Amino acid sequence: MPGLKHEKLCLPPVAGVDEAGRGPLAGPVVAAAVILPAKGVPRGLDDSKKLSASERERLFGRLQDCARIGVGIVEPDEIDRLNIYWATMKAMTLAVEALGVDPGHVLVDGNRLPRWTYAATALVGGDGKSASIAAASIIAKQTRDRMMIELAEAHPQYHWHSNKGYGCPRHLAALRDHGPTPIHRRSFAPVARACAQFGLPL
């Protein structure tokens, strides 16, 4: 389980940063930055992918009550303009800026850091090592999942309530049958093919 070993080596306040939504064909990429409280860190923090939906939702609520949180969102049109890598870097930067305080150090999940002036460390597999990053992974995923469930109401044929925009067979079949929506990422190959099929611009 992730702990606070890495946080204790850094100048406080320490923000953990993670993102959700690099791979989907539709929807935004969402990043979160979380500064955990000095006391009362919620039990059970872990990589969001290892938690059940109900456990993520419970921890999401607990973190909202006790932690300082910033969220950064980059929409599909900007993902297409920047590419997904730079869109993710921008979402992370927006998330840290949204904290409302300058962190003493930032711990980022992965092996790359945005171009910022904060002292920062990239941790591969960080959401399984750092409690702050694990918390950020939960906030980012739950925020994005909620957005995709809401978007699914306007576009039910794509089944985003269950696939969250990822390219599962039902989503790909719906793309072929109905074409892309404004929420789809046109720079992603399956969506680009659907645009060509329906005569839509990229």
CATH topology of domain 5-153: Nucleotidyltransferase; domain 5 (3.30.420)
- Mean pLDDT value across residues 133-139: 98
Question: Shortest CA distance to 96 belongs to which of 115, 77, 123, 124?
Answer: 115
Q: Which two tokens stand for residue 87?
A: 């869109």
* Tens of pLDDT, residues 144-160: 999 999 999 999 999 99
* Tens of pLDDT, residues 9-48: 999 999 999 999 999 999 999 999 999 999 999 999 999 9
> Given strand 68-74, what is the order of strands in its sheet?
68-74, 29-35, 14-20, 105-109, 120-123
pLDDT of residue 190: 97
For the chain, the 3-state helix, strand and coil shares in percent, each to the nearest 5, are: 50, 15, 35
pLDDT at 199 over 90: yes
Residues at the annotated binding site for a divalent metal cation?
18-19, 109
- Mean pLDDT value across residues 182-198: 97
C-alpha 201/C-alpha 6 separation (Å) is 47
pLDDT of residue 202: 87
Residues at the annotated binding site?
18-19, 109
pLDDT of residue 187: 97
- Mean pLDDT value across residues 63-83: 98
